[in-house]
Structure 1
Amino acid sequence: MSVQIIKRGAVQAALLSSLSMMSFSAPALAGKSDDTLRVAFTKEVENVDSYFNSAREGVILQRTVWDGLVYRDPATNEYVGNLATDWKWVDDVTLEFKLREGVKFHNGEEFDADDVVYTVNFVADKDNGVKTQRNVNWMKSAEKLDKYTVQIHLKEPFPAAIEFLAGPVSMYPNEYYAEVGPAGMGLKPVGTGPYKVTSVEPGTHYQLEKYDGYHDSPKGQPKIGKLDIRTIPDVNTQIAELFNGELDFIWQVPADQAGKLAGMDKLTVANESTMRIGYLSLDAAGRTGADNPFTKLKVRQAVAHAIDRKTIVQALLRGKSKVVNTACFPSQFGCEQEVTSYDYDPEKAKALLAEAGYPDGFTTDFYAYRNRDYAEALANFLNEVGIKTNFHMLKYSALRELRMSSGTPITFQTWGSYSINDTSAITSQFFKHGSLDDARDDEVRDWLEVADTSTDPEERKAYYSKALQKIADEAYWTPLFSYNTNYVFSKDVAFQPTPDEIVRFATMSWN
């Protein structure tokens, strides 16, 4: 039954598409000839300003165009200096940084303490509307001690501070950002990163070239001269353009297509695990109405028992993906694995629905923004036990705004934690009464607050464990699976993927 449910979805279309491509002529890849790497993004980036988008594509642009004070080596997980050369904890709520001298932004502005102070003070101010508040709301302010020494003051102890400063917290030029703001930064980005932006067509097309003045950064010096990035939502169109020589590099390719492409002489297919997990978020708090079925525990448990996660992983994701049972990625600090899990049991799901007062099931809106084949498979599993779904596929930004403003009854979501290897980067994002919290559980929020701020690692683990166990017991989320990513690129391109799902263009070169 499970395989049949999946096959009735979009998988057949994907397979047929893959087979039809076999008749294409061999690709005429030409990026190397003009030193331009042509890349496709699947999702639209709502704003290139990295503080005003939360899509993975935006994260990749952030790491390409801007730098943070610190850098985490993806191979060793060691923290090393980037815009800062050294740092120390002055006390539990104060970090002091010695800044790298001689660094210039793409527009010629000199980097110094004024830029750090301006950036931190701007993004830490909630009124300025940074999209993902959890990335920045642990900072109180920054203070200049001298031209190349700065202190960042925390609102309270936050042990994951260095991890965040090595990830989503980038430094902006104070003079330029004060003049143009997020709208201007989105149209004409200026950073210190390995590539500078030369053209932006919002949401559709980005052109970059290597920054010849790039400092001695642990990211490495860029080797490919230019990047030409276009938003192409349809994967089949991306693959067709790859064959026609209009693209050199695509990623997030479904397993079926990737398997077929792996046999092409002039293409390389690389698969790597990621920190991204998929999950169903259920409106337990009644944001869409107190009478919605997902406010009932037995309904939420029925959803968890209705999904054959193992079959979805085996039939659709493949590669290095695996079933997950908890509301975080297993490698993240504090990600408790000993929690209540829900085996696939459709009969139990039906019985739970009947006990909850829905012997004939019910109808609900079901939302998703990516991986239509995965989402349709999930919807079909729910349909089979009597939860009839009105399927809505929205753009990421539209679904995010809907969830923030009024909530959704049930939605298929994914989260890559900005590649931050700490449970605060995912569980605390969604269970501390923020605009995307569908549970609004005071006890969970309070436990996470202790875990996020304690300087005792064992206490942090203990309180994350309590929170994650209750999230599982109450079935606030239905954790589904970890993601893997298939990268497909020309044999002319040298690229090695990393488990944090960040495409580092500065490490790429031509063969």
Structure 2
Amino acid sequence: MKTRQTALAITLAGVLAGVTSLALADTFVVAVPQEPQDLAAQGIYKEINAPGLRNVIEPLIMMDADSGDYVPVLAQDWEVIDDTSLRLHLREGVVFHDGTPMDAEAVATSIEFVWDQENAFTIQEYAGPGRISAEVEDDLTVVVHSSEPDPMLDFRMSLTGITSQDQIENNPSAHFTQPLGTGPYAFEDWDQGSSWSAVRNDDWWGRAADDVYGQNIPDYDRVRFEFRTESSSRMAMIMAGEADIVVSPQSSDCERAERLDGFSCVTGPSSQYIYGRLDYSLFADERLEDPRIRAAIFHALSYEGLADILGLASVPQGQLGTPDMTGFNDALEQYASDPQRSMELVQQAQADGVNLNGLRVEVMGRDDTPRIGELVEAIGAMIEAVGIPTRQNVQTPAVANPRFRISEYKAEAPRAMMQVHVKENPAPDFGLNLHSNYACPDLDDPSGVSRSSVFCDEEFDERLHEALTLIGEERHEAMQELNAFLHERYVIIPLALLDRAYLVRDGLDLTFGPDGRFLLANVTQSD
């Protein structure tokens, strides 16, 4: 059996057999399922939409793959000042790829740029209860502030990419296509529609550091990320010896890997999930506010069947997260698949005057989501079978993303859509999850944390705001209660939890974190 499971770290070693060696031995090639939307610093937390960017742009701190604790990166140490402030002490002598110094002024500029709400970056989905700002205390010390108590400021700094102050201030447009970080690899080229690449940074601070993550000197001179939307194309690359690693193979690819020599399928849990966000209280068709219609849709679905379609997936426990997360409610269960009950609920609603004429729920996904066509077709058919008309739609990110934001909801009102989409929990805490997915969005600030939410409930918002300021067991219990509150209201369907999977050629030693992100500094060629 060549498919291997792991929770935190994976080590692979072998002898190349049956696979042609790479033409460029000094270039590490990664086949990824999609092209980056951009290469801005705010995207280093995204391994799907910005694959590999973390090798060029570094955060101040990061979560250790083995322990789950925060460890130094650009900040050597840090301390909590109070419930709204965090002080970070920076490494001395670090420079950006353009040769400018990484000092407190540059770091403060990056922090405020990334978290500026007016920039409307997607990282706002992981913002806390307050606005984030930064001040320079001395040349190598920066203090981060939140306008509201925020016990997770350190986590937010682990998401924050630090880049050249000179570029941000003097050439901001280049920030999105030509990243200037501090990482072990420096951006080389972006051949749009094909690949992007980076070369080894010989001035990397990690070469002389005792506490560096990974190797002091990475094994490979260059890394190239090849964009291949079709899983079969990525599979063909590793079979032909044209890739070292393939991201997001299908379960059938992993089955083939068991029979072939030269590479293996590596699987393990991830922080990703796929959900169905069904329009609710904001500009929605009023018939979707009827609890019987919502319950009928939730219970119409076969969750085991949907997980089988996706492959490398499992059925959630009635919430958008896993048992290791603060706030996970073990008393909840996944919504029962019961089409007969759904049909009865629809009939009850109709008998009470709910007229379904003209209602057609749009089951919609993005074309960069694996197996999305099959998934939305199956969901639509299951809902149709209980008496609720649907239509299925798959669109490009450029078309779909605006429709996933509150700014577009009003333009389509009254709307009846189920957004089928992949998201991740970058921290083992339900606070971020609940805030971004369920809090009522500010219609006057369509770039805010909850800009994709379709739900507005005053009681929920008040309880969430309080819970976000708590720590320890109080926080855990408050989040558990909120998960139960949402479960009863049929707001978002937890469709599946996704495993992380890779095809990896033999002869490599790698370490992956629980979020599945790989760093080339952690890749070595085995003897």
TM range (shorter): 0.7 to 0.9
The answer on 1:486 being equivalent to 2:517 is no
- 2:386 corresponding residue in structure 1: 385
Alignment of 1:279-294 (within 5 A): 279-287=275-283, 289-291=284-286, 293-294=287-288
Kindly indicate whether residue 419 of structure 2 is the aligned counterpart of residue 411 of structure 1. Answer: yes
Distance 1:54 1:46 in 2: 13
Aligned length: 479
Task: Name the counterpart of 1:295.
Answer: 289
Equivalent runs, 1:320-359 vs 2, <5 Å: 321-339=314-332, 341-357=334-350
1:202–1:156 distance in 2 versus 1, CA, 3 Å:
farther
From 112, 124, 139, the equivalent of 1:133 is: 124
Q: Which structure 2 segments of 5+ residues have no match? A: 1-16, 207-211, 410-415, 442-449
CA-CA distance at 1:421 after TM superposition: 1.7
Query: Shift of the alpha carbon at 1:484?
Result: 0.5
Q: 1:64 to 1:375 in 2, by over 3 A?
A: farther
Give distance in 2, aligned partners of 1:413 and 1:320: 14
For 1:111 and 1:80, how far apart are their aligned partners in 2? 19
Partner of 2:181: helix, strand, or coil?
Answer: coil
Determine whether 1:197 maps to 2:200. Answer: no
Do residues 120 (structure 1) and 111 (structure 2) align? yes
Question: Who is 1:9 aligned against?
Answer: none
Partners of 2:177 and 2:70 lie apart in 1 by 31
In the alignment, does 2:497 pair up with 1:500? no
Q: 2:462 aligns with which of 419, 428, 446?
A: 446
CA contact (8 A) 1:46 1:202 kept: no
1:8 aligns with none
User: Hey, what does 1:218 align to over in structure 2?
Assistant: 213
* Match of residue 262 from structure 1: 258
2:3 is matched with none
CA distance in 1, matches of 2:146, 2:167: 25
Listed one character per residue, the Cα deviations across residues 168-211 of structure 1 (whole Å, up to 9, x for unaligned) are 21212212211121x31122111011221100134542011122
Who is 2:209 aligned against? Answer: none
Q: Determine the C-alpha separation between the residues in 2 that align with 1:43 and 1:441.
A: 36
1:370-414 Cα offsets, whole Å, 9 max, x none, are 122333332332232233332111233432211113246112122
Residue number in structure 1 paired with 2:428 = 421
SS of residue matched to 1:103? coil
d(CA) in 1 for partners of 2:275, 2:515:
18
> For the structure 1 residues 96 and 203, does the alpha-carbon distance in structure 2 shift closer, same or farther, using more than 3 Å as the test?
farther
Paired residues of 1:47 and 1:53 also in contact (CA < 8 A): no
TM-score under structure 1 normalisation?
Answer: 0.87
- CA shift, 1:489, in A, is 2.2
- Give runs of aligned pairs for residues 453-464 of structure 1, distance below 5 A: 453-454=469-470, 456-464=471-479
Q: Match for residue 4 of structure 1?
A: none
Change (3 A) 1:36 1:366: same
128 and 311 in structure 1: CA distance in 2 versus 1, 3 angstrom threshold: closer
* SS of alignment partner, residue 334 of structure 1: coil
Tell me which residue corresponds to 2:31. 40
Cα–Cα, structure 1 residues 342 and 57, in superposed 2: closer, same or farther, change >3 Å?
Answer: closer
How do residues 21-36 of structure 1 correspond to structure 2 at under 5 angstroms?
27-30=19-22, 33-36=24-27
* Contact 1:37/1:227 (8 A) holds in 2: yes
The residue number in structure 2 matching 1:365 is 362
DSSP 3-state at the match of 2:259:
coil
Q: Given residue 423 of structure 2, which amino acid in structure 1 is its aligned partner?
A: W
> 1:15 maps to which residue?
none
Alignment of 1:96-111 (within 5 A): 96-111=87-102
Structure number with the higher helix fraction is 1
Query: How far apart, in 2, do the equivalents of 1:503 and 1:395 lie?
Result: 27
- Aligned-pair CA distance for 1:109: 1.3
The structural deviation recorded for 1:367 is 0.5
Relative to structure 2, which stretch is displaced further, 466-475 or 484-493? Answer: 484-493
1:435 aligned to 2:451? yes
Work out the CA distance in 2 between the residues paired with 1:149 and 1:306.
55
Question: For structure 1, which runs of at least 5 residues remain unmatched after alignment?
Answer: 1-24
**Given residue 71 of structure 2, which amino acid in structure 1 is its aligned partner?**
V
Over 3 Å counting, the alpha-carbon distance change for 1:336 and 1:180 in structure 2 is farther
2:152 maps to 160
Q: CA deviation at 1:27?
A: 4.1
Secondary structure of the corresponding residue to residue 496 of structure 2: strand
1:178 matched to 2:178: no
Contact kept? 2:313, 2:496, Cα under 8 Å: no
Preserved CA contact (<8 Å) 1:66 1:193: yes
CA–CA separation in structure 2 for the residues paired with 1:237 and 1:160: 40
Aligned counterparts of 2:183 and 2:49: Cα–Cα separation in 1: 14
Distance 1:386 1:495, change over 3 A: farther
Query: Residue 92 in 1 paired to residue 83 in 2?
Result: yes
2:249 partner SS: coil
Which range moved further: 200-209 or 477-486?
200-209
How many angstroms does 1:146 deviate by? Answer: 0.7
**TM-score where L is the length of structure 2:** 0.85
CA contact (8 A) 2:282 2:456 kept: no
How much does 1:220 deviate? 3.8
Measure, in 1, the Cα distance between the counterparts of 2:500 and 2:88.
35
- Check 1:435–1:139 CA distance in 2 against 1; reply closer, same or farther (3 A cut): closer
- Quote the residue 2:48 is aligned against: 57
Q: Say which SS state the counterpart of residue 436 (structure 2) adopts.
A: helix
Please state whether the residue corresponding to 2:202 is helix, strand or coil. coil
